[in-house]
Structure 1
Amino acid sequence: MYKMIAMDMDGTLLTDNKQITERTKKVINLASKKGVKIAVCTGRIFASARIYAEAIGAKTPVIASNGAYIRDKDTNNVIYEKYLRTNEVLKLIELTKGYGFYPHFYTYNTIMSEKMIFASKNYNEWNKTLPDEDKINIVICSSLKDKVLEYNGKIIKMVVASDDGIGINELRNKIQNESNFSVVSSMFPNSFEVMPCGTSKGNGVKVLADKYNIPPEEIICVGDSENDISMIQYAGLGIAMGNATEEVKMAADYITDTNENEGVAKAIERFILNN
């Protein structure tokens, strides 16, 4: 019997218009009532992911920032946290600016950059739809180097995006050659994310599973993108969405329906509720 399910958010739990369907909420809550531990596992920062985790209605720990930050949304207890060192952040700023890009650095609830562009611009638009207590803190500053020093030791990740796809790929390859970083594709086109070495959704799921004393073979992980592969491979049952990339589908044990057709709900019904 499966005792835990970890779900990606964008392209998995959420529809294309960033909603969780009523059927999906109902099915997740039925699984929770059966004693199955529910977790959302996302590249989003905690402050962003928490809003959707609340919408589910069940007790749902959040594995945020691709596994770098894990927090219980109901108790606000931080279960796990791993940060970029300040010297690493300064190095990333130097590398990124060498290509003329505007990097974004994140804490669990704040985005900072020198220009309102890509990620910060998207979050700024999203903030307009949110009550004040749920808004993401966006800091646009004249000197990113000075600003990150104010958050010394609390930077979780960097995201960089550009219309220059060739330059982005060159920068990603250069950063990946540094052994002290984990790098994955971001949800935006021509973009990627940089976290502390060893960070992954797979490790995040393991940390939470160890807390609950649940072995991998009793875990289901569901996702659609590159950053989901590590948890899909870790789980006893790794499930790819019907809209997943081919790489994710190759790594999975089972392929469910798409995020637009309630693939998460159908997978939970098949492997948890009907067993």
Structure 2
Amino acid sequence: MYKIVAVDLDGTMLNKYGIVTEETKQTIKQTIEKGTDVIIASGRPIDSIKTIAKEIGSNNYFIAGNGSLIYDIKNDKIIYEKFLSKQKILEIAKICEENSISYNIYTEDTIIAKQLKYNVLYYYKENLKKEEKNKTSITLVENIIDYIKNSENNKYLKITICDETKSIFNSVIRKLKTVSDIDILDVSHMSRKVIKQGTEDINIEYFYTEISLSDVDKWTAIEYLINQLNIKKEEVVAIRR
């Protein structure tokens, strides 16, 4: 029997509307009752995952920022962290600004963005269905670089970059590959999100990637956690679509 099942959120646990269905909740409940710990492993920030973890009855740990941190739910604290520095964030942001491409910065607590567009628009629409305490925090600013420079925060989970035009997107990715000590997520496909608008489904499509510190990924975080818990790799399964 597996001791841990690690599950991604978007496109896996969540349906196309960003919701955990009752059928999925029941499956998770049965899994937990059998003694297997269900752990969320997502690119989202802490508060966004906390809400869903509570909803599905996952009470021990979750992984945020695509492996940038592990959160101990019971003790309400971070037990593992690998963040991008402010200096690295500014270096990446400068390239994005020079090439007029949309980008957002994820901290432990919020998503920093210029406008409600692409993945941030999806989170905003998702928030409309949630109570205030359960919403994903979005911080809209006029100038991201100035905001980061003036912030006391020096811990950043990741940057997401989005554009509808493949040639522009690929050009920026090539430039970002010259930046040292970062990992760029595979960019071979478009991201598709469905937003419910009244009775209609609104599809949004865009090219998308995520940038994190080198050697940061969900599996590395899972390996750290299972080592701490004395669990073997063979006793862990990761589910992602």
Unmatched 5+ stretches in structure 2: 193-205
Higher relative contact order (CA 8 A, sep 6+): 2
Question: What are structure 1's unaligned runs of at least 5 residues?
Answer: 225-275
Flag the structure with higher strand content: 2
Q: 2:9 and 2:113 mapped to 1: Cα distance?
A: 24
Deviation by residue 1:217-252 (Cα, 9 ceiling, x = unmatched)? 11111111xxxxxxxxxxxxxxxxxxxxxxxxxxxx
Q: Which secondary structure state, in structure 1, belongs to the residue aligned with residue 93 of structure 2?
A: helix
Superposed displacement of residue 151, structure 1: 4.4
Q: Retained in 1: the 8 A contact 2:164–2:207?
A: yes
Deviates more, 1:114-123 or 1:76-85: 114-123
Aligned to 1:146: 146
| 2:28–2:56 contact (8 Å) kept in structure 1 | yes
1:191 shift after superposition: 1.1
Match of 1:214 among 231, 234, 237: 231
Pair 1:165 & 2:182 matched:
no
Distance 1:125 1:154, change over 3 A: same
Counterpart residue number, 2:39: 39
Q: Which residue of 2 aligns with 1:272?
A: none
**Corresponding residue for residue 13 of structure 2:** 13
Q: Secondary structure at the match of 2:44?
A: coil
Three-state SS of the structure 2 residue aligned to 1:63 is strand
- Once the two structures are superposed, residues 144-195 of structure 1 have per-residue CA deviations (whole angstroms, 9 ceiling, x without a partner) of 1221130431221111111122111222233234341111158553011111
Hey, what's the Cα distance between the residues in 2 that align with 1:27 and 1:125? 27
Q: Please state whether the residue corresponding to 1:178 is helix, strand or coil.
A: coil
Structure 2 residue matching 1:66: 3-state secondary structure? coil
Q: Which moved more, 1:84-93 or 1:24-33?
A: 24-33
What CA deviation, in whole Å up to 9, does each residue of 1:187-224 have, x standing for no partner?
Answer: 55301111111111111111221121112111111111
Q: Distance in 1 between matches of 2:113 and 2:60?
A: 30
RMSD over aligned CA atoms reads 2.0
Q: Judge conservation of contact 1:84–1:157 (CA < 8 Å) in 2.
A: yes
Matched, 1:198 2:215: yes
1:48 maps to what in 2?
48
Q: Decide which structure has greater helix share.
A: 1
Q: How many residues align?
A: 224
**Aligned partners of 2:58 and 2:218: how far apart in 1?**
21
Q: Deviations over 1:50-92 (max 9, x none)?
A: 2221111232421111101211234322121221111111110
**TM-score normalized by the length of structure 2:** 0.84
Give the whole-Å Cα distance in 2 for the aligned partners of 1:67 and 1:108. Answer: 12
